[in-house]
């Protein structure tokens, strides 16, 4: 009996990255970069209100864990040489500032939000909405958590003080995530093949 492997036999294997994946990753990295032009100073810890935290979560919700994480990592790598972060900062500058922890949070939130969102695509419409909201707000909570550690390290704040420094951002961030969830759901409804099989 022949042991030749047919295309049908490998159809269920996990595909590698494709040109389409690379295009999606690049497009969302560009969106992340563009949203970096929005930076509103607030609070006393040196952390501004930005749209890039929401962009990281949107990237995960739309692209899934692997591609979403790759997109955020890509823009942070580009940021080593170019000022792609909010306020015209480079990644190196941000790593030495009170916002250092948020950069880690961007990567983790994209991965976690993406994993939850793509598992939700198999759910009913109502279940999908609920899980996308869970994905978005859990991603935000993780950004805050890593941001707290960054504030403790770079701004010499106590754990409690670092958490309190997040309070001014809560209303705006909650609204931003709700909008990102709506956008992500609309993208998946318009492009059902966004999720690779």
pLDDT in tens, 106-124: 999 999 999 999 999 989 9
DSSP 117-175: HHHHTTS-HHHHHHHHHHHHHHHHHHHHHHHHHHHHHHS---HHHHHHTTGGGHHHHHH
Q: Measured between alpha carbons, how far is 1 from 5 in angstroms, rounded to an integer? A: 12
Query: What gap in Å lies between CA 145 and CA 121, rounded to an integer?
Result: 27
Q: Which residue has the tokens 């306020």?
A: 87
Q: What is the pLDDT of residue 39?
A: 77
Q: Residues 41, 46, 47, CA angle at the centre, nearest 5°?
A: 65
Q: Give 124-174 pLDDT, tens digit per residue.
A: 999 999 999 999 999 999 999 999 999 999 999 999 999 998 888 899 999
Return the number of other C-beta atoms located less than 10 Å from residue 14's C-beta: 5
CB atoms within 10 A of CB 73: 16
Give just the sign of the alpha carbon dihedral 191, 120, 102, 160.
positive
97 in helix, strand or coil? Answer: coil
pTM confidence score: 0.87
């Amino acid at each position: 009996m022949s042991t030749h492997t047919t295309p049908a036999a490998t159809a269920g294997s996990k595909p590698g990255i494709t040109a389409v994946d690379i295009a999606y990753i690049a497009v969302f990295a560009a969106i992340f970069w563009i949203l970096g032009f929005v930076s509103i100073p607030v609070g006393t810890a040196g952390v501004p209100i930005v749209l890039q935290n929401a962009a990281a979560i949107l990237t995960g919700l739309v692209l899934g864990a692997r591609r979403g994480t790759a997109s955020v990592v890509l823009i942070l790598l580009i940021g080593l040489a170019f000022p792609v972060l909010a306020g015209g900062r480079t990644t190196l500058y941000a790593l030495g500032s009170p916002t250092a922890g948020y950069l880690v949070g961007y990567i983790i939130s994209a991965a976690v939000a993406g994993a939850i969102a793509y598992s939700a695509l198999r759910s009913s419409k109502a279940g999908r909405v609920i899980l996308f909201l869970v994905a978005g707000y859990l991603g935000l909570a993780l950004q805050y958590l890593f941001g707290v550690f960054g504030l403790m390290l770079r701004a010499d704040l106590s754990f409690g003080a670092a958490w309190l420094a997040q309070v001014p951002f809560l209303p705006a961030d909650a609204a931003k995530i709700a909008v990102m969830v709506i956008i992500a759901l609309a993208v998946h409804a318009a492009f059902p093949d966004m999720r690779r099989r």
